[in-house]
Chain A
Amino acid sequence: MTAVITLPSSLDEPNFESVILQLAAVPDDAKVLVDARHCRFATPYGLTALLCLAQSRLEKPDFAPPEEETTASYWTRASFFKYADELYNMRGTVPRTRAGGDSDVLLEVTPVAKNEDVHAIVTRIQEKATQILTNTLDLEPRATMGFSMTLSEACSNIIEHAGRGGWVMVQRYNWSKRRVGRDVVQIAVTDAGVGFRHSLETSRARALADRWDDAIALENGVMNAVSRLSDPGRGQGLKGIRGWVHRFDGKLTVRSGKARIAPIIPDWDDDLPRQDSLPEFPGAQLQVIIPKRVVDA
């Protein structure tokens, strides 16, 4: 019996929860078919989380690609199918050729599995991102280094703590019709590894805690720079990410296990600072959104 997981038409960070909810009703060892036929839009978070979904299944899932040609073509240009082909049994055809890339994709779906992957990602993103960050988002040149640091720290966390490889993708959007009313850049860094709760199981924070769950582990790891290692220099990476996102009026969300926190919610968005008791999804999924700078009059 194959369980069908239907993707929403818009696969972004909030809507991926509907995918996790459907998965929660399916036993870990059950065969699943991820049905993307009616999906029209996917963000970096959505695409990379789909790869995590496949990694988390005991049996290789099936995948029905988007029917709309432009959607499928974009997913190809974003390199989604390059990796999905290995993780899913494709049930249908997908565009094979990358038609000249996409200028808004700053970094295609890229695996993060070893140290040199992080170096390659930082090198590639600097080549492509500097112009967009400074010319399109009006960010100061110093912001480019913070942007690269955010990527490197988030990717390093996968290598250091996740216990298995993950994914990263970066994309620019024109959000002039949304509440923020300007261009944004989205970063998604996701994995299907052990997650914050398990990673911090041996930490001092865990030893001192009366209660221990995904939300408490997330808050310790993201907000309090707690690491599983007692070295005072540990935990600096996420602290640096929070500082950079806050400084550039961005938004940060992190999901792990059954919890999700939004440690930085800017004025241009609404969100819940902390959500408990969500349906379980393995690993950790981080999203950063940085908007175009508002120039003072």
Chain B
Amino acid sequence: MTHIDVQSALAQSLSAPYHDLVTRRTGLAVRTLIERQLSGLADGSVAFLDFSHIGVLDCSCADEFVAKLMIPLTAEHPSRDGYVVLHGVSDGHVDSIEQVLHAHGLALVVLFPDGQARLVGAVTDVERRLWEIVMLTGGIAVEGVAAKTGIAPEEALSLLNSLARRRLVRRDDDCYSPLGAVA
């Protein structure tokens, strides 16, 4: 796991010490810096983006930074093999992040201050249910998910693969596990 302080990236992007992620230009500058950091990580690594020191996050900046960071990672042929988890986010941050993720059909794993990880963005109820089973079990195969949910194995396989492609769970051979569970 790699910790990336978003505030540090913001500070490098601006000439004055501001704490708010606002405007597309700022979002682009911060994303560019963070993409550079991510490109130096090993394949399969999980990057924790820390928003703890960020004040306001507006939708334009969230779109340019968060959504566009995830688009190439979740493409059919991803730009690299890596995962992103957000933490240190406030309720206000979540409002903006959720809106822009929905606009692109994306979702993200967010680690909330209560210690709980939750999915934010465009996910169906059944996708969320399967993701929660993966989280609770710490790692499970398709057959286990099918048995726990009553969903046909083929459908469970398709849904789990979709979650893995969208970088919401990790697939290691036949096992689907939470992000961060495997170093």
Contact B56 A148 (CB under 8 A): yes
Contact B56 A160 (CB under 8 A): no
Q: How far is the CB of B112 from chain A (nearest CB, A)?
A: 15
Contact B56 A122 (CB under 8 A): yes
Please, which residues of chain A bring their CB within 8 A of the CB of B24?
156, 160
Given contacts A118-B23, A142-B91, 8 further A-B contacts (CB under 8 A): A116-B15, A119-B22, A145-B92, A146-B95, A148-B55, A152-B23, A153-B58, A233-B63
- A236 contacts B by Cβ under 8 Å: yes
Q: Which residues of B contact A (CB under 8 A)?
A: 14-16, 18-20, 22-26, 55-64, 67-68, 90-92, 95-96, 99-100, 103-104
Q: How far is the CB of A174 from chain B (nearest CB, A)?
A: 27
A-B contact count (CB 8 A): 94
Contact A240 B23 (CB under 8 A): no
Contact B103 A156 (CB under 8 A): no
Contact B96 A118 (CB under 8 A): no
Q: How far is the CB of B85 from chain A (nearest CB, A)?
A: 21
Contact B16 A236 (CB under 8 A): no
Q: Which residue of A lies closest to B106 (CB)?
A: A233
With A126-B56, A236-B60 already in contact, the answer to whether A146 and B92 are too (CB < 8 A) is yes
Say whether chain B's binding surface is mostly helix, strand, loop, or mixed.
helix
Assembly CA distance A272 to B39 (angstroms)? 53
Contact A240 B58 (CB under 8 A): yes
Contact of B26 among A115, A120, A153, A239 (CB under 8 A): A115
- A237 contacts B by Cβ under 8 Å: yes
Show 5 residue pairs from A and B whose CB-CB distance is below 8 angstroms, ordered by the A residue.
A122-B22, A123-B18, A148-B56, A149-B59, A149-B92
Assembly CA distance A126 to B90 (angstroms)? 16
Contact of A156 among B14, B22, B68 (CB under 8 A): B22
Contact B25 A115 (CB under 8 A): yes
Q: Which residue of A lies closest to B61 (CB)?
A: A152
- A192 contacts B by Cβ under 8 Å: no
Assembly CA distance A188 to B29 (angstroms)? 28
Q: How far is the CB of B122 from chain A (nearest CB, A)?
A: 12
- A232 contacts B by Cβ under 8 Å: yes
